[in-house]
Structure 1
Amino acid sequence: MNQSGGRNSNMHLSDTDEAADFPLCGLSYQWFTQSAFGAALMNLDCGFIYVNPAFSSLLGYEEIQLKQLSIPVVTHHDELLRCVHLSSQLAAGLIPTFQIEQRFIQNSGVSVWCSVNATLLRDEQGEPRYILMQTQNIDDKKKLEAALHTSVNTFSTLLESIPFAVVMLKADWHISYVNKAAEAIFKHKIEDIVGRNLWMLFPEAVSSPFYKEFHRSMEERIYTYLHQCYGPEKRWYEVSCQPTKEGICLFIRETTLLKKQENAYLETKLQLDAIIKHAPDAISILDLQYRILTVNPAYTDIFGFSEDELLGKPPLIIPEELTLETNALFQQAARGIPVVGYETKRLHKGKHMLDVSLTIFPLKSAENLVMALFISIRDISESKRTERLLRQTEESYRIIAANTYDLVVLLSTDGLVKYVSPSHQQVMNVDPAILLEAESPFSYFEEPWKSQVSDFFDELIRRKEPGTTELHWPAQASEQVKTFEVNGVPVIGLDGCVESVVMVSRDISERKHTEELLRRSCKLSVAGQLAAGIAHEIRNPLTALKGFTQFMYEGGPHKYQYLKIMMSELTRIEQIINELLILAKPQAVTYRKRQTEPLLRDVISFLRSQANLNEVQMIMHIQSNLPAVHCEENQLKQVFINLLKNGIEAMPHGGIVQIYAQKTFNGMLSIVFQDQGFGIPAEELSRLGEPFFTTKEKGSGLGLMISYKILGEHGGSLRFNSEPGRGTIATIILPAAND
């Protein structure tokens, strides 16, 4: 080697001037090239100038390859920031050296842990010039550390996950370790337990059996076990003491709940024994050879045998013809498959047969092996006799249903037809077999009757109470419409749930026709009662017409004013007659499901001009998602018009009519009309709706009477609230249509 720092071909020096200026003496060269540890000489930018074979081997690169790289290139990305930071401080002369553990990336892409010692080399003027880095492979050490860390964590996790308390005690009774579960046992935090003397922490335990057992384990270096009640709360603890190198280890588990369960088990066993003894059913226990081990008093009472006649023998109550059947049931239960509610017969000592319900349960050991058979026998002879009577009664009812003209249908709760009376053939010309095979009997109805009968069926199940409705068959205009009165009765089971629904329908078309005749007769009667009022209401305008006509005939002046008055009186007569015709004339009504908001908007639009002339503003407040109603929309519009006109006419000097539509708390539809008029006195409020009673100067009172009639036919109602000087509120309540 050139002692003056010249080049040496064995050093693989860089061709840069920086490398050529670096003096390398013989000893340093020998150390650099032959060191078992990796070594590298770098410039201040961490670029490699010299690398020794150990460093090249460590990273898996050729030396010439490394001289084209720098430290950041071969440093693991998790270590890069720290390495660059320390190298920058070193290169700036802020620190003379640093030592870290970091990962390098080998040429194969695998990371390797190394211990790194980097030192700053200065020139003759004391300026930073080079960085000398020494490395040692510590990958195995790091793996051992990781394995040790994992092992410690696993052991620690295991101790912390144990559901009972683990306590490590030194020979001087100081606590060196407790797990998390010990906090619940000791009622102290871990930091308040570790390092404390056990007997100072629990001085009251010195006089307990635990003190003696702990000392015996500590002194004799033996395993001890104690299950004992402790403390004023009388809680039970199970404690194991295991000697250790430093002292003893305690495993403590609270068993208060187990003790309570044990006591409850003993109490339950006593109660169960009492229940079996006093049970009304015959109970016996058989071994696997089908010999009776025990019987209760009900067994001897029901079958007439004494206990001595039964114990240790096969059951004497099995009829000979049922021996094979019974043995098969015993074998099934012996395989662990219970037999529940099997109806069969058993023999009384007096040789007569009893109808019984047989239940056999396998009694199993803790290893799930069948050890014996528990047999419960219920005498159902009486219920069987009742069942036969019910069957006879049902047959009688079936005969009645088969020979009646009423339509009888039995439906399950999911709408399946279980029975259809033959009368459907005669009354409706529908084969009962077709209805029995149909997925739903409602499919034979057209809307809206299909929805009505379906809703009626659902309502019967929901309310669990009988109900009545009217249906029409068929809905086609080409056929004669029949009206049926349908009575529905839900059949309630013992559990309080609806088991089925019986619907009995009767053709009431003739009765409805008779009712219509009676209604017309009633209208004639009403017309007779109204005759005097009509005569009075029409006589006044007729008198005016007659007088003005005669006056004009005689050539009186001011004919224009007379004609205007005469037209007004004629209009009043026409209004009275039209309203009376609406009341008396039979209406062809078709009810359909309609939303009320469009109907209200149509009416408001219709009355907008009249409202503007009277300087009245109409404001709607419509709740979202209002339910629809089954209605005749023109009739409902007529009601709205009547109420809105009343509100407009009640405010001759203008004002506001508020319209509110919303769903009530019980699912009905509420429509409110509120005006700012003069109001109605209490004595007149009760008379609203009477024929020809009105609070308006030119009113007839028939409008409200018609409104009451229309709303009544729709199943609704109308009520008024008013105070003089504070306006009037008219409230309509209508039933919502079911979806």
Structure 2
Amino acid sequence: MADFNSNQSETDKPLTSEFKLLTSHELFQHSFDCAVIAMSIVTLTGKLLTVNSSLCRLLGYAKEELIGLHYQTFFYADDVDAVAQLWKQMLQGECQSFQVEKRFLHKDGSVIWVSLSVSFVHHEDASPICLLAQIQDISERKGYEHKLEESRSNYQSLVKYNPDMIFMLDEAGKLVDANPAVEAISGYSKQELFGKSIQFLIVPEYLPLLKGMFEQAKLGVTGSAEGKILHKQGHQITLEINFIPKIKQDHVEGSYLIAKDVTKRKQNEAMIDQLHTKNQLILNAVTDGIFGIDEHLGTIFWNQAAERLTGYTYEDMFGSNAYHILTRTSESDAALQSDIPSALYRTIRDGVYDCNANEIFYKKNGDSFPVEYMTSPIFDENQIIGVVMTFKNIAERQHTEEMLRKSEKLSVVGQLAAGVAHEIRNPLTSLKGFIQFLQQGAVNKQEYYDIMMSELTRIELIITEMLVLAKPQLIRYQPKRIETIVQSVITLLETQAHMNNIQFVVVMEQQLPLVHCEENQLKQSFINLIKNAMEAMPDGGQIDIHMQMADDTTVRVIFKDRGSGIPDHVLARLGEPFYSTKDKGAGLGLMTTSKIIEDHHGQLMLESKVGEGTVVSVTLPIT
């Protein structure tokens, strides 16, 4: 036992020595320097006495750079006053320590969030010697907190300011929370709905559907449908409803019901449907064919009259260029840029209203028919988005016009007959006399033969012009000289003019270009105009006929009489069917003449002054 005790006593001696070593200044300094937490010993006035390596690493300074600096040197400017106040409270004895989370500035200027703990170091008499500051970097945690707060703020903003109703329901379908839009749309406040099932809001016929969607949401399945709820004041609100499961750690804790008020949209859609139906009824009631194309030249609507006239259905034309199909042309987008595009392309390119009175369309079965059409641009905010074309089959109208034209032509021929008969009788009398001279053995026979041939040629010319004018001919537009046509008309009418003491004075520019025309129709129109001028001067007089260039692309023929003139109220009605200033006139002559000029893409203008006479101007395009 003695030995044991003796050994124990010897062992206690070095232990006591080691304990003293543990409390020595060197060991404290070693522990201070090696601490993971950044630390500093600070004077009561705030200057750094010593710092450890962790603080140097945290702030980016060497130890020598930090010693002697004031603690405020490292604080972010906005945090200096708050820390200074806490420091003051410690020195005044109001507290023995404090801990705050503030911002430090790194040597490179970057900001570091830290947790700062400050406490007194005391003398043996409990008086403070200095302060111990412990600093821990919490920048990463602050970053997470900032993101979390930002996410929370975004979520709150999304819920609070969302124009759609958002109901937060528990697993039993009772309201847990709601956004302000719920009250704005339904009329019920969150307090009125809290803890209640929202079934009472739903219009009964939609309740089974929405219940099913709620049960699916409880299983983690989203769903959407259209439904209706009752406003607090009793009227119905149409909603687009979405059920979204609320999942936390793989467990469904409830659901979100998000509902958009689509009442106005549904009303607008219903109104649009009604307008569409009415427009379709109007389109289908119109006897003219109507179709529309968009800016890409695809057909977007096609009425029943268009289907009846062409045999093509809307399904046949939808998305295709109906104009190409109907005209069987190969025009492409390049037609939009051409100098003389069709009326359709002029409209879609320039946004102008246009028309064409002489076009040929082809039916689905291959038959062709003449049409007259008009094109109108479709505008949306001053942008051309398409064209509407209205067309009609003018075959019957052309047939009627042709019958009127023939009737007028026969009338003209009948009126010319008396003058032509007189014109033919004169050369026949000469021929008869010369034949009698020859039978009696007259001399200078060659001279008689020449005169007889001249008279026969004149008879032949008059009869030929009469036959050409009266004979139905195939309409064929060809380049012709306008002066030749006018001279032929004068040949037919000059005998009648002589009988009425009327003279023709013709003035013509040299080398007029050719006119693309149907010669026989122009002759008929000129005869009508000259006869009107002759009838306006029953006592005789002079008719001036001028042929000249109107501009670089047209020729103008002017007929001027010196008759009594036409009053303005009568002039305005000339050209109307069955309106005439003549006792036996039918009013078809000028109407037929106008139509002939129009078919030649020309223009007919009348000017008249009472007591001075009338001027008729015909302008025709050159070839």
Interval of TM-score (by shorter of Structure 1 and Structure 2): 0.3 to 0.5
TM-score, normalised by the number of residues in structure 1 = 0.40
